[in-house]
Amino acid sequence: MSQVRDIISDGVWRNNVVFSQMLSLCPTLAVTSAATQGLGMGVATMAVLIASNALVALLRGLITEEVRIPAFVLIIATLVTIVDLAMNAWLHELHKVLGLFIPLIVVNCLILGRAESFACRNSVALSALDGLAMGAGFTLALTLMGALREIGGSGTVFSGAANLLGPAMGVLETRLYPGDGALVMILPAGGFIVLGLMIAAKRTLDARQKAPQPKTAPAETPPSLAAAS
């Protein structure tokens, strides 16, 4: 159980791919001008990550050392193609918004990195769990960044969710204040600003958790009681 907890903690927070490893920053900055885009990109990446980790772990005994990287890329490319076609069929509006960034999941260093560093050395179950945890952390980072930028730039959260994710997701659409916000927040510069602030916030929280707690000095015995004893 401790290994399972460590895998989940590493993926979601402690070793978060964006805020700790600072990988996959290209899609992080490119598709997070709105929370819905970040959520869609994160879920698509997570689906590929879970499946690729499980397949690599399942086939690790058949993949030789010399061809492991091409084999991993082939597995990932096949899964990305399936996800790309599925999104085009069932989430066509979101597919149009994300555009080229869906095929580019093939070269996402997060997916290949987890295949190389974890999946090819562990069981199928643990590899799938690692993919789920890392994917959840990536989705959390993209969705949170998109929400902050959208709130600051448009005053909304999950705007267009019904069109991009289906009518059932319309309940997520929220306007927090009337009018528009600061345009810079939904421009590329806003992505760098929000990313920097979020990385700084995570490092501050981590430093506070690691800081030793001051020890409470023992209470002094009153002189009257000391004399009586």
The identity of residue 114, as a single letter, is R
Cα three-residue angle 157-158-162, rounded to 5 degrees: 145
The pLDDT value given to residue 62: 92
Pairwise CA distance, residues 35 & 137, whole Å: 15
- For the stretch 76-118, pLDDT in tens is 999 999 999 999 999 999 999 998 899 999 989 899 999 999 9
Looking at residue 152, its pLDDT comes to 94
Q: Note the pLDDT of residue 7.
A: 95
Average pLDDT over the chain, rounded to an integer: 90
Least confident of 46-60, 113-127, 208-222: 208-222
* pLDDT for 225 beyond 70: no
Answer yes or no: is pLDDT of 211 > 60.
Answer: yes
pLDDT confidence of 224, banded at 50, 70, 90?
low
**pLDDT in the model for residue 221:** 54
Give 165-199 pLDDT, tens digit per residue: 888 888 999 999 988 889 999 999 999 999 999 99
**Does the structure show a pLDDT above 70 at 206?**
yes
DSSP assignment of the chain equals: -HHHHHHHHIIIIIT-TTTTS---HHHHHHS-SSHHHHHHHHHHHHHHHHHHHHHHHHHTTTS-GGGHHHHHHHHHHHHHHHHHHHHHHH-HHHHHHHGGGTGGGGG-HHHHHHHHHTGGGS-HHHHHHHHHHHHHHHHHHHHHHHHHHHHHHHSEESTTHHHHH-GGGGGG-EE-SSS---GGGGSHHHHHHHHHHHHHHHHHHHHHHHSPPPPPPPPPPPHHHHHH-
**pTM beyond 0.75:** yes
Cβ–Cβ under 8 Å, residues 141 and 201: no
pLDDT beyond 80 at 215: no
What is the tens place of the pLDDT at every residue in 109-166? 899 999 999 999 999 999 999 999 999 999 999 999 999 999 999 999 999 999 888 8
User: Domain residue spans in the chain?
Assistant: 2-208
